[in-house]
Amino acid sequence: MKAIEVKKGIYWVGAVDWSVRNFHGYTTNRGATYNAYLIIDEKITLIDTVKAPFAGELLARIRSVVDPEKIDYVVSNHVEMDHSGALPVIMKACPNAKVVTSAPSGIKGLTAHYGEYDYMPVKGGDTLSLGERSLAFVTTPMVHWPDNMVTYCPEEKILFSNDAFGQHYASNGRFDDQEPLDVVLQEAKKYYANIVMPYSKQAGGAVTACGGLDFEMICPSHGVIWRGHIKEILEAYGKWTSGATEEKALVVFDSMWHSTEQMALAVLEGFTQKGICAKLFDLKCCHNSDILTDVLDCTYIAVGSPTLNNQMLPTVASFLCYLKGLSPKNRKAFAFGSYGWGGQSIGLVEDELKACGFDICLDKIRIQYVPKEEQLLEITEKVKNL
């Protein structure tokens, strides 16, 4: 396995995980990559490692350029194991390397995971000379762990951005201009929605902190390297970090005997007649992480569940739990559902939507047993008039 030179003397030495389809609960239908970068200078530097099972692939790519023993610095931008998992293997192969990481959080996290190494703590604004090049460190705490930082090489105008600007996307093209832009941007959106969204304020601060930098290349730790479409990904991050929404509605439901499903279709029809983009997600076949990609920029969220054993359906509970954790702001929401006798689920769904901090824009809609045609028309009319 060979390294890929991304700029003279700078190599991608990461790993492509073609097979992964679930990344701690987030569906990765297009696989993933764990990117690491090798800088050949007077001081040879590795930026980040890879997930543990791919340590051999990382070492092989490094060896295609240089003997790992010659590595002077291993920069760890982020402790999470998809980037640090290969650190023990790498440190065995690079016994002379110092581990450059943020203080105190990076050192604390790496020590807890892997023990003691020759750590070199850095803080935001610190620089490190490699010879012809230098590295500047920008700490980006809580984007999305306390230890996160990004590393900038001013002589090359490259930002090593770790998770920021990343996408779970396996490919043999290493650059944005070698892959379909719409697909890569969609994966970047899914990544942002499922990983970064709760920390949008901090992410906005990080984007602003990097805003004064001059980029020719953004090298994230997942997916393709940005060089041809830097403007597009920065614009997208500007929108996502701002929390801006579009006139778009999501109708999310599960159903037992199609009554709540009929109500969901009537809600969808109301949004359609209102003239706004609306999407229907049946939780029996749609994954939470895909729905959250659309939550990122929607205005309305309608959630429906029948009552089962005095509760909402577990699929709906799972969606609402995941939604609340990712903490989207400024949404309008309402609950609906059919029931046989107790009918508690609809109130419980509404309570969860309130707990998300959403504005309840329509009283909960409850229908006993099977909805009649006129009841469905009434739902459509109510939603149309929102």
Q: Which is nearer to ligand FEO, 162 or 305 (CB)?
A: 162
How far apart CA 46 and CA 361 sit, in angstroms, is 52
Residues ≥6 apart with Cβ < 8 Å to 13: 3, 36, 37, 38, 46, 58, 61, 62, 65
- Taking the mean position of all CA atoms in its chain, how far away is CA 7? 27
Instruction: Dig out the tokens for 226 from the structure.
Output: 């940005």
* Annotated catalytic residue, options 17, 80, 147, 187: 80
Q: Give CA torsion, residues 34, 86, 1, 38, to 10 deg.
A: 70
Amino acid at 359: D
Q: Which is nearer to ligand FEO, 166 or 270 (CB)?
A: 166
Residue 148 C-beta: closest distance to ligand FEO, Å: 8
Coil, helix or strand for 102?
A: strand
Residue 99 C-beta: closest distance to ligand FEO, Å: 17
- Position of minimal CB gap to ligand FEO: 80
Q: Which is nearer to ligand FEO, 36 or 266 (CB)?
A: 36
191 is catalytic: yes
- Taking the mean position of all CA atoms in its chain, how far away is CA 233? 14
* Annotated catalytic residue, options 83, 144, 168, 229: 144
Exposed e or buried b for every residue in 63-77, given b needs 16+ CB within 10 A? eebbebeebbbbbbb
Token match 């739990």: residue? 321
24 is catalytic: yes
Instruction: Dig out the tokens for 123 from the structure.
Output: 């803080």
Residue 207 C-beta: closest distance to ligand FEO, Å: 17
Q: Which is nearer to ligand FEO, 171 or 221 (CB)?
A: 221
163 is catalytic: yes
34 is catalytic: no
* Annotated catalytic residue, options 41, 82, 176, 179: 82
How far apart CA 76 and CA 19 sit, in angstroms, is 25
* Annotated catalytic residue, options 41, 78, 152, 300: 78
Q: Which is nearer to ligand FEO, 43 or 222 (CB)?
A: 222
Residue 287 C-beta: closest distance to ligand FEO, Å: 19
Q: Which is nearer to ligand FEO, 35 or 259 (CB)?
A: 35
Residue 38 C-beta: closest distance to ligand FEO, Å: 19
80 is catalytic: yes
Residues that bind ligand FEO (CB under 6 A): 78, 80, 82-83, 144, 163, 221-222
Instruction: Dig out the tokens for 348 from the structure.
Output: 């419980």
Residue 209 C-beta: closest distance to ligand FEO, Å: 18
15: which strand partners? 34
Q: Which is nearer to ligand FEO, 196 or 301 (CB)?
A: 196
Residue 218 C-beta: closest distance to ligand FEO, Å: 15
Residue 162 C-beta: closest distance to ligand FEO, Å: 7
CA angle (377 as vertex; 376, 378 as ends), nearest 5: 90
* Annotated catalytic residue, options 57, 163, 254, 352: 163
Instruction: Dig out the tokens for 148 from the structure.
Output: 């996160």
User: How far from 48 is each of 34, 58, 230, 369, CA to CA, in Å?
Assistant: 9, 10, 22, 57
CB hemisphere CA count around 47 (13 angstroms):
29
78 is catalytic: yes
| Number of separate helices (H) and strands (E) present in the chain | 12, 22
How far apart CA 230 and CA 232 sit, in angstroms, is 5
- Taking the mean position of all CA atoms in its chain, how far away is CA 183? 15
User: How far from 132 is each of 128, 151, 161, CA to CA, in Å?
Assistant: 11, 16, 21
Q: Which is nearer to ligand FEO, 296 or 303 (CB)?
A: 296
Question: Which residues are tagged catalytic?
Answer: 24, 78, 80, 82, 144, 163, 191, 222
